[in-house]
Amino acid sequence: MSDDGICDDTTGMSLMQEDESYRLLSSYKIPVPHHRVVQNKEEAVAAADAIGYPVVVKVISKQVIHKSDAGGVITGCHDASGVRNAVDLIRSSVIKRYPLATIDGYLVAEQLPPGLELLIGGRTDPSFGKVITFGLGGIYVEMIKDTTMRILPVSSRELSLMIREISGYRLISGYRGVHPYDEPFLLSILEKMVNLFLDHETLAEFDLNPFRLYEERGCIIDARLYCRDSSHSKPDKKGIRRLPVPQSLLSPTGIAVVGASQNPDKIGYTIMRNMLAFSGREYPVNPKGGELFGRNVYRSLNDIPDPVDMVVVAVPASVVPGVITDAAAIGARVVVIVSAGFSEIGVEGKARQDRIKKIAAESGMRLVGPNCLGIIVPSDHLNATFTNVIPAEGKIGFISQSGAVITSVTDWSLREGIGFSSIISVGNQADLDIVDYIRLLGDDEKTSVIIVYVEEIRDGKGFMEVASGVGAKKPIIALKSGSSEHGRIAARSHTGSLAGSYATYQKAFEQCGVIPVHGMREAFLTGALLAEDGYPHANRAIIITNAGGLGVLASDYAEDYGVHLISLSDSLYSDLHSALPPEWSQNNPIDIIGDADIERFSRVFDICIRHKSEWDIAFVIISPVARIDLVSLAHEIIRFCGHVNAMIIGCMLGGVSVEAGSSILRKTHISTFTDLKDAFCAVGTVVKAKERRDKRE
Amino acid sequence: MSDDGICDDTTGMSLMQEDESYRLLSSYKIPVPHHRVVQNKEEAVAAADAIGYPVVVKVISKQVIHKSDAGGVITGCHDASGVRNAVDLIRSSVIKRYPLATIDGYLVAEQLPPGLELLIGGRTDPSFGKVITFGLGGIYVEMIKDTTMRILPVSSRELSLMIREISGYRLISGYRGVHPYDEPFLLSILEKMVNLFLDHETLAEFDLNPFRLYEERGCIIDARLYCRDSSHSKPDKKGIRRLPVPQSLLSPTGIAVVGASQNPDKIGYTIMRNMLAFSGREYPVNPKGGELFGRNVYRSLNDIPDPVDMVVVAVPASVVPGVITDAAAIGARVVVIVSAGFSEIGVEGKARQDRIKKIAAESGMRLVGPNCLGIIVPSDHLNATFTNVIPAEGKIGFISQSGAVITSVTDWSLREGIGFSSIISVGNQADLDIVDYIRLLGDDEKTSVIIVYVEEIRDGKGFMEVASGVGAKKPIIALKSGSSEHGRIAARSHTGSLAGSYATYQKAFEQCGVIPVHGMREAFLTGALLAEDGYPHANRAIIITNAGGLGVLASDYAEDYGVHLISLSDSLYSDLHSALPPEWSQNNPIDIIGDADIERFSRVFDICIRHKSEWDIAFVIISPVARIDLVSLAHEIIRFCGHVNAMIIGCMLGGVSVEAGSSILRKTHISTFTDLKDAFCAVGTVVKAKERRDKRE
């Protein structure tokens, strides 16, 4: 729609006239005002007489969308002369504002009493298909943006959660002496609108604003429904039918590197060098033959005498189709195409990409990439990429739509002691896509947490379906970029149709149990925490610290990130009180005072072990003072951890001085942070994810 | 006030009756409804006849505060019988709800037409004194919390900024075809209320809710004014008269350490050990005498043959008063009391603290602490604390209300390459307080940025006055803890009187030009950035990167933190386009593609130098790929930096691989980050602070 209120058809959508909309809504038993369509003043008066005063008169014109702004709506007509004046006034205002508009008639409708103004909307997201939105209506909707959404289809349970999650819910449930509004009725309207929206494929967007809710029942006031013109093809939002992903992608035994080169400036050189440690067999391939890193270089794939299940390709794009054909011929299951020069460079590249996809499909071989960094499986010393960092082995599976993000993250992860089960760079996703990789890592025993960096998900429905299933077994954490205008432009998407889409991704993640995060650091600190500890039993946290100031800051962060600090029970309090000097904080955070030695920490740990049924999460927050040997304290924390089945978080806050202590904790798989805010952010993210799971179960 | 609407006097405040309030408001030419106070039904009718219908009838009763909730307000009385019914109904409702309440009469007031409902409020903050709040009124005020505040006194300019900073301002300025409301009139009402509030010392709190604003003028509807009972002493919110702070606090020449001990478990041992490198003269003092670290130990301060200008005290609290007397006798200017056992332990300690304060005051000697970590001045190798980390020299002056925060921060700072001009642990602030230290660092040439960690500021007015003055010369960054309920409890403050106080601190900081931050990491990264670069000229940023994915993330963070990415000018675009491979991003972020070598970076830097008038901030975001030698790239960035007078931010994102490159940048004073979000958070904080400054100038 254009901004001036006149309908244009560049978007391929047309606005349904209000009386048509009312008819459609009524057929779903959604209440609309009593109304009649008339052509002139006298018909209008007759209609008003029949409906009963007061009435509203609205213009009917295909060209006028924002009727109010155009002077096309007059409310409060209390008698026949009021109705006549209204018709005159509307005609003159509309003609003045839009000289080219055709007036098709007037809608005379009963004027309903005031109520709570709500908004119910629907639109079609390019990735996830139809979504429903809900929030406060009227002028407040745009001002305070208190709306929420769900991707369809959706359960009635979800719809009722949706009603309760807007801040304005307090207005619905009865606020400050105001009677509650009819929430069950509201829910039934949402359900009906969902059905109506899903039943009508060409219905692309709608706005019921306001929907007026009363103490009993409610009624649509203004309805704008937009249909997709049949001339515009509608995006297919059904999930793609997916073939199984060969498990050998993560555990190949024989790998050929096509393009392995003697020239250190070539990517093929770096990949082959990184492949030397591979625990299976690796075969360099280059038409020049010769020797590389002491290995015989085969002139073609066909020359390799042993079975090859994976081929890594780092040759110019023009040569790639031939390599794919050869790979299929020798029975490879997976080809990892590092080479660039495909769909990312335009039409020519797209054609080439389609060609290799077709060759692979014919033989049932699967493709990773093209235009990707490759894959890494640390446990098998498999590094089929051109990075210069070898990440550590661990339990995190990382799927990334950006190679550079992998490079930076793996480099950072080494210092933080974070390890990986596998790292997959998805590239152009000619064949295998993010959804396939999530399925793959879902079945991979070495992976206990999946982290995904996403710029765009094409098959939103497939993603949600697969992520729901996999997420039930192991946590999936997703970082979606492109929340900003510049980010969206950078993704070259059509601004109009993708506007607000970032919010849709976030909702989609929540709806299918994926944990949304907003930065790489948060993603990996949360992932590492989940890999070590899983979800806590519940959200009852204690803080043990030798630093009052850090305790105060920690309390603030706990609240900011939704970590619940318990009040100490009488018996826990008195046990602590008898074990601690009188100046202790008397409260949670348990500040055991700056002069605490290891023994005092140890006494407090013992007390917390005895009271372990009272809490689920313990933060041990340590300021590195001279009197405490952090290595010994680390061993005390390990002992503490051994006696409880809870989430223990070690926070030794500082830099170089805390490294030895922190590193001991990490090596014994105790979650460790050197920054206080990071610790509460990660635990808060996990706690919130757990609470969302519990709410849905 | 108690929650049930009945006034109690535990708060020492009483509610002014509405007619009294109206009188007071009228005397300041603040419009109130026409009204009369009556005693019975017939007087009420007579009043209504005189005022004109419709009218509102309200109960007058000292005991009923929330009149509406008690059924004490009836609106819409359209005739005499309506007024009579209203009086009857009010009487019975109020008596039913509050059997013990006395009804002192009824207020009959004109019923005003609907308008925009606003809230104007005032209260007395325990730290900052009187504040004024403003926001949307009615039920929305509590739901969406769209309010803002200012600490008084305040300029008319600030009041007008205040009106414009609520999200609901769009409703005032004319939203979606609604006429604008009378903003100048609103401003005049705020000015009058500020005068009224400041003129009446005993007026402690008020709520004008709603104040109804019209297209022309406006009117108070409900007014609640609370006066402080004379029996309750009012807090003194005038600034304290401050004596000069001896500059020798930061540059002493002779320091005695009283309590210097042979016993490594004693704090006095650690302090003396830390003092050995001091570039002035240090004198251990201990009644046992002997030798320590090769130095003669004096048995008392009087035995020291040379002049001593600073005394550091680490002896048991009971002995401290004697030491203070001795210190005064030998002419010391400053005593740093590390010993605990003063006001923090209760009444006895408080008395001891008062004693030492008196002794010091009599001789004009100043006290740091007691119960503090001490002070550090790296440039003079002065470390009069018991930390085990020696921080690096730099330009940040750090004042902290928590010793543990100093310990953690200095440890972390070493790894991050952040240095300090001085670090001051304020302890109990018996004599010198945070405000004094800000003054001191304000005049200190080695300090270019001041960072303050605050739990509570007692002299809020003094803080604002001093911070305004110092802040004009050098940036002050403040982290205030205690935003959470638990944090406030931890600070043992009276919950009622301090509720919302965190927000007051944040506003106070903004109002006096202090930069508020929410974490230590943010504080120091922002501080380091300001110490190197100061404020940028304006907020026009470019991003140069070799990683598309990081560019997209960076765009998101730029938006999140308020960093403005410019659109490339035609000439900048075409210069870049001719120098870069065709796949470059064609936009800002300038993605020069993953295969970029040093030379390509260098070409882009040269182009950006030619176009330096078009931007003020450049982020160089690097993914550590094998082909780029980060050390050489660091030198290219240094060259880039040398040609422009702009803020250049080096982001080499990773861990160990980027350390060499990052460290070269840091050593040449180029601001450097290894985490993308941190970089944009710090730059955004600086940019916002700069924009606030500009707005106020």
Write b or e for each residue in A71-96: b if 16 or more Cβ atoms lie within 10 A of its Cβ, otherwise e: bbbbeebeebebbbebbeebbebbee
At A585, which helix (H) or strand (E)? none
Closest CB from A139, A588, A656 relative to B411: A656
Q: What is the pLDDT of residues B334-373, one digit of tens each?
A: 999 999 999 888 889 999 999 999 999 999 999 999 999 9
Beta-carbon contacts of residue B322 (< 8 Å; ≥ 6 apart): none
Confidence of residue A127 (pLDDT cuts 50, 70, 90): confident
What are B33's two structure tokens? 């409804």
CA B383, CA A239: separation in Å to the nearest integer? 66
Closest CB from B68, B388, B653 relative to A657: B388
CA B683, CA B543: separation in Å to the nearest integer? 13
What is the predicted pLDDT for the residue at A241? 76
- Angle among Cα A300, A303, A307 to the nearest 5 degrees reads 110
For chain A, the residue count is: 697
CB contact under 8 A, A655 and B416: yes
- Angle among Cα B595, B597, B598 to the nearest 5 degrees reads 155
Q: What rounded mean pLDDT belongs to chain B?
A: 90
Interface-testing mutation among B139, B166, B556, with chain A (most A C-beta atoms within 10 A): B556
CB contact under 8 A, B168 and A143: yes
| Pick from A254, A266, A366: nearest CA to A314 | A266
Instruction: Tell me the DSSP string of B129-141.
Output: EEEEEEEE-HHHH
Can you give the three-state secondary structure of A399-449, one letter per residue? EECCHHHHHHHHHHHHHHCCEEEEEEECCCCCCCCHHHHHHHHHCCCCCCE
CB contact under 8 A, B556 and A482: yes
CA B523, CA A470: separation in Å to the nearest integer? 40
Residue B592 has pLDDT above 70, yes or no: yes
What are A339's two structure tokens? 């080479």
Q: Which residue of B has its CA nearest to A390?
A: B657
pTM: 0.89
What is the predicted pLDDT for the residue at B496? 29
CB contact under 8 A, B402 and A677: no
Q: What is the pLDDT of residues B518-539, one digit of tens each?
A: 989 999 999 999 999 999 999 9
Classify burial at B682, counting beta carbons within 10 Å of its beta carbon; exposed 0-12, middle 13-18, buried 19 or more.
buried
Closest CB from A388, A400, A591 relative to B657: A388
| Homologous superfamily (CATH) for A247-531 | Succinyl-CoA synthetase domains (3.40.50.261)
Closest CB from B521, B626, B654 relative to A408: B654
User: Which residues in chain A are closer than 8 Å to B548, comparing Cβ atoms?
Assistant: 402, 404, 490
CB contact under 8 A, B551 and A68: no
User: Which residues in chain A are closer than 8 Å to B398, comparing Cβ atoms?
Assistant: none
Other C-beta atoms closer than 10 Å to the C-beta of B199 total 9
Supply the Cα-derived Rg of chain A in whole angstroms. Answer: 32
CB pairs under 8 A between A and B: 266
Residue A499 has pLDDT above 70, yes or no: no
Q: How far is A449 from chain B (nearest CA, A)?
A: 21
User: Which residues in chain B are closer than 8 Å to A404, comparing Cβ atoms?
Assistant: 546-550, 594, 623, 625
CB contact under 8 A, B560 and A387: no
When pLDDT is averaged across residues B241-255 and rounded to a whole number, the result is: 89
> Above 0.90 for ipTM, yes or no?
no
Residues of chain A with CATH 3.30.1490.20: 34-110
Lowest-confidence segment of A659-663, B475-479, B525-529 by average pLDDT: A659-663
| Pick from B333, B285, B284: nearest CA to B307 | B333
Interface-testing mutation among A97, A386, A399, A407, with chain B (most B C-beta atoms within 10 A): A407
CB contact under 8 A, B388 and A674: no
CA A221, CA A21: separation in Å to the nearest integer? 11
Percent of chain B at pLDDT exceeding 90: 69
Beta-carbon contacts of residue B449 (< 8 Å; ≥ 6 apart): B395, B396, B397, B474, B475, B476, B477, B527, B530, B531
Q: Which residue of A has its CA nearest to B403?
A: A549
Interface-testing mutation among A479, A486, A625, with chain B (most B C-beta atoms within 10 A): A486
What is the predicted pLDDT for the residue at A240? 66
Interface-testing mutation among A139, A269, A552, A588, with chain B (most B C-beta atoms within 10 A): A552
Is there a contact between A406 and A400 (Cβ–Cβ < 8 Å)? yes
Q: What rounded mean pLDDT belongs to chain A?
A: 90
Lowest-confidence segment of A25-39, A574-588, B53-67 by average pLDDT: B53-67
Q: How far is B487 from chain A (nearest CA, A)?
A: 5
Residues of chain B with CATH 3.30.470.20: 116-234
Closest CB from B556, B558, B624 relative to A407: B624
Report which residue type is found at B6: I
User: Which residues in chain B are closer than 8 Å to A146, comparing Cβ atoms?
Assistant: 144
Lowest-confidence segment of A474-483, A590-599, B484-493 by average pLDDT: B484-493
Q: What is the pLDDT of residues B532-574, one digit of tens each?
A: 999 999 999 999 999 888 998 999 999 999 999 999 999 999 9
The more confident residue out of A496 and A445 is: A445
A600-A606-A610-A614 Cα dihedral, nearest 10 degrees: 60
Confidence of residue B141 (pLDDT cuts 50, 70, 90): low
According to CATH, the topology of domain A34-110 is Dna Ligase; domain 1 (3.30.1490)
What are B355's two structure tokens? 């004693």
Q: What is the pLDDT of residues A251-310, one digit of tens each?
A: 999 999 999 999 988 899 999 999 999 999 999 999 999 999 999 999 999 999 999 999
Closest CB from A68, A559, A626 relative to B485: A559
CA B357, CA B359: separation in Å to the nearest integer? 6
Closest CB from B146, B387, B565 relative to A626: B387
CB contact under 8 A, B177 and A674: no
Is there a contact between A355 and A320 (Cβ–Cβ < 8 Å)? no
Q: How far is B28 from chain A (nearest CA, A)?
A: 32
| Homologous superfamily (CATH) for B116-234 | ATP-grasp fold, B domain (3.30.470.20)
What is the predicted pLDDT for the residue at A582? 87
CA A413 to chain CA mean position, Å:
23
User: Which residues in chain A are closer than 8 Å to B68, comparing Cβ atoms?
Assistant: 177
What is the predicted pLDDT for the residue at B494? 27
| Homologous superfamily (CATH) for B537-696 | Succinyl-CoA synthetase domains (3.40.50.261)
When pLDDT is averaged across residues A155-167 and rounded to a whole number, the result is: 91
CB contact under 8 A, B142 and A176: yes
What are B505's two structure tokens? 């601190």
- B487: three-class secondary structure by DSSP: helix
Closest CB from A142, A170, A520 relative to B143: A170
